[in-house]
Amino acid sequence: MRPERELLKGSTPTLILAVLENEPRHGYAIAREIERRSESTLSLGEGSLYPQLHALEKAGLIAGAWEMPPGGGPSRKVYTLTATGHSELVHRTRSWRDFVSAIEGVLKNGGEPDVQPI
Amino acid sequence: MRPERELLKGSTPTLILAVLENEPRHGYAIAREIERRSESTLSLGEGSLYPQLHALEKAGLIAGAWEMPPGGGPSRKVYTLTATGHSELVHRTRSWRDFVSAIEGVLKNGGEPDVQPI
DNA sequence: TCGGGGTACATCGTAATAAGAGGTATAATG
DNA sequence: CATTATACCTCTTATTACGATGTACCCCGA
């Protein structure tokens, strides 16, 4: 069950960039890190994750490099945040917070008179 | 310019319900009220507004009634929040805030060590 | 030794959503 | 009489999320 399914749209790339800001990670690890940080509230399906990674790589916001894990297992593509990706993350984070404020402005006005100091 | 275009998805119906909680309004007025409350950060295209209103009406969350405006002008459909719509709004507001907390949890962890008590 | 589970990649098709473009109609304003 | 504002609506397109599906590797236990 994922009640935020409809709300998630649009924020996925921002979440990926945010997770990569700390350290390079491969796709599977990114998804698990998002789950961990959100305390399992958010979970990224693989059908959303990989297309997004390809899009972000194509846009130059992240850079992927294939890696053979030392302990064995399937090879994996480790993504690093580029400089462009970093400034994009800053920008997207700001946009996100503006957006949240705007929504809160609409929600809070329900029941209260429309006094709204800047 | 609408930088939040991609982020808006999923929250539109909640915004409509929130605006109707105060008082009944017709479609056009709903759109303008959302703009006003969000200080023009959010703006609902007509192509999103009317299909959403029909969907919400069909779902029984709002009830529409045609009205002839006394001052003249085109007739309009005034929507009122139903009881079901009200509890749905409460639920959606809670979901929205949970969602925001979850996203913040992912964003904030960027740069900090991953200490996270339950 | 063979299957199941976890890791890790990827794509296809579908459903939901948002919004631009277009269409209808009325009243007031210039 | 044309433009502007109000007010409704639908069609089509683009984007997004994700379930389903497929490949492939490793480890562990029966």
Q: Which residue of chain B is at minimal alpha-carbon distance from A101?
A: B38
- The 10s digit of each residue's pLDDT in B54-108 is 999 999 999 999 988 777 778 899 999 999 999 999 999 999 999 999 999 999 8
**Cα separations in angstroms, B86 against A105, B76, B91:** 18, 23, 9
Classified as helix, coil or strand, B90 is helix
- The 10s digit of each residue's pLDDT in A48-78 is 999 999 999 999 999 999 988 877 778 899 9
Predicted pLDDT at B4? 65
Residue B71: both structure tokens together: 């001052």
- What average pLDDT does the structure give for chain B? 87
Percent pLDDT > 70 in chain B is 89
Mutation choice for A interface testing from B1, B14, B37 by most A CBs within 10 A: B37
Please, which pLDDT band fits residue A88 given cuts at 50, 70 and 90?
Answer: very high
Work out the minimum CA distance from B54 to partner chain A, whole angstroms: 18
Handedness of CA A82, A86, A87, A91 (dihedral sign): positive
Among B10, B34, B102, the residue with its CB nearest the CB of A106 is B34
C-alpha to C-alpha distance for B31 and B42, rounded to whole angstroms: 9
- State whether the beta carbon of A29 lies below 7 angstroms from any atom of strand C: yes
Predicted pLDDT at A73? 75
Among B6, B41, B100, the residue with its CB nearest the CB of A10 is B6
Predicted pLDDT at A3? 52
pTM equals 0.88
C-alpha to C-alpha distance for A1 and A44, rounded to whole angstroms: 13
| Closest residue (Cα, C1') to C25 | B74
CA of B113 to C1' of D22 (A): 37
Statement: residue A112 has pLDDT above 70 = no
Range from A4-8, A89-93, B55-59 carrying the lowest mean pLDDT: A4-8
Residues of B in contact with A14 (CB under 8 A): 103, 107
C-alpha to C-alpha distance for A44 and A48, rounded to whole angstroms: 7
C-alpha to C-alpha distance for A45 and B62, rounded to whole angstroms: 33
Q: Which positions ≥6 away from B3 have C-beta within 8 Å?
A: A95, A98
- State whether the beta carbon of B117 lies below 7 angstroms from any atom of strand C: no
Residues lying close to strand C (Cβ under 7 A), chosen from 34-73 of chain B, are 44-48, 51-52, 55, 71-73
Q: Which positions ≥6 away from A89 have C-beta within 8 Å?
A: A14, A17, A18, A21, A81, B110
Among A100, A106, A111, the residue with its CB nearest the CB of B37 is A106
C-alpha to C-alpha distance for B67 and B86, rounded to whole angstroms: 23
Highest mean pLDDT among A79-93, B2-16, B72-86: A79-93
**Cα separations in angstroms, A29 against A35, B31, B67:** 10, 41, 56
